[in-house]
């Protein structure tokens, strides 16, 4: 009697793949976060609160997260529109536009910050036009917002684009033949399919914007209580060798970010369940 054949997967087994995954996850994510929390624990909750509970720190945290949320919401809307245009339509320069979407990924953040500052400064191409109507962009919160939109837009577009490619045109045509309007088809057929991917892109864009430093530092103006972002405040504390204060601000950003991402994940779960019921 022949022994039964064992069909082995060409991919590594559970033990090997799990070991590699946990090792890389620990080196890249868990150990740095653990070191930050350990530093904060040595500083103590009272010391962390004393450091964070200052007008300058609250202003920097509020500015960073408020503008990051606005930029992520902007990218959520226009990133989906951009992905839809790139997938559904054929026009001259489409491939060039498709390649330009990835530019913020490849461009060094410092170079992006210098370029945006040159464009939106009062003497720049766009800044001079805005200056004529009394609107200042560079060295204000508007400049920070533009920089955050620039670095976050590809996350939404590239996350949603494969999902749009999988949606057959017949789905839209079937909805139209049943008498549904374009707006109804968009709201009740297309958007529910895109919602999980769009929320994932929104979370990625938000996470990138919250921690962005290089592209913002040149265009922000860095005025305390006005245009000073939280990552810059951490850098200032590190340059002053005040590692406890830097860790305290980092822990505050970590907790706020975790709460926001948890809320986004809960919305994603709800949207998937809703699609399943439909």
pLDDT-based confidence at residue 4 (cuts at 50, 70, 90): low
Q: Above 60 in pLDDT, residue 6? A: no
* Each residue's pLDDT tens digit, 130-172: 888 889 999 999 999 999 999 999 999 999 999 988 888 777 7
Domain edges within the chain: 37-277
Copy the structure tokens of residue 52: 């964070």
Q: Above 60 in pLDDT, residue 278? A: no
Q: What is the mean pLDDT of residues 49-70?
A: 94
pLDDT given at position 186: 77
CATH of domain 37-277: 1.10.3720.10
* Each residue's pLDDT tens digit, 165-205: 888 877 777 777 777 777 777 777 788 888 889 999 999 99
């Amino acid at each position: 009697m022949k022994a039964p054949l064992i069909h082995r997967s060409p991919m590594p087994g559970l033990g090997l793949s799990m070991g590699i995954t946990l090792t890389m996850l620990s080196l890249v994510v868990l150990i740095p976060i653990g070191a930050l929390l350990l530093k904060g624990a040595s500083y103590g909750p009272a010391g962390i609160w004393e450091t964070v509970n200052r007008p300058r720190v609250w202003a920097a945290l509020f500015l960073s997260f408020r503008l990051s949320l606005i930029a992520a919401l902007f990218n959520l809307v226009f990133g989906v529109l951009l992905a839809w245009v790139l997938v559904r339509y054929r026009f001259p320069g489409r491939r060039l536009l498709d390649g330009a979407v990835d530019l913020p990924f490849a461009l060094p953040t410092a170079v992006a910050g210098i370029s945006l500052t040159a464009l939106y400064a009062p003497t720049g191409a766009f800044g001079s036009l805005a200056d004529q109507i009394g609107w200042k962009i560079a060295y204000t919160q508007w400049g920070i917002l533009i920089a955050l939109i620039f670095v976050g837009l590809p996350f939404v577009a590239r996350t949603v684009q494969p999902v749009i490619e999988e949606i057959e045109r017949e789905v839209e045509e079937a909805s139209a033949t049943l008498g549904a309007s374009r707006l109804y088809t968009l709201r009740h057929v297309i958007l529910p399919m895109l919602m999980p991917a769009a929320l994932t892109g929104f979370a990625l864009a938000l996470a990138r914007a919250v921690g962005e430093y290089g592209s913002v530092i040149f265009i922000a103006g860095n005025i305390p209580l006005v245009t000073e972002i939280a990552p810059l405040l951490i850098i200032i504390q590190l340059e002053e060798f005040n590692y406890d204060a830097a860790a305290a601000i980092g822990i505050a950003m970590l907790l706020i970010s975790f709460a926001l991402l948890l809320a986004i994940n809960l919305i994603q779960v709800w949207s998937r369940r809703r699609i399943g019921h439909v």
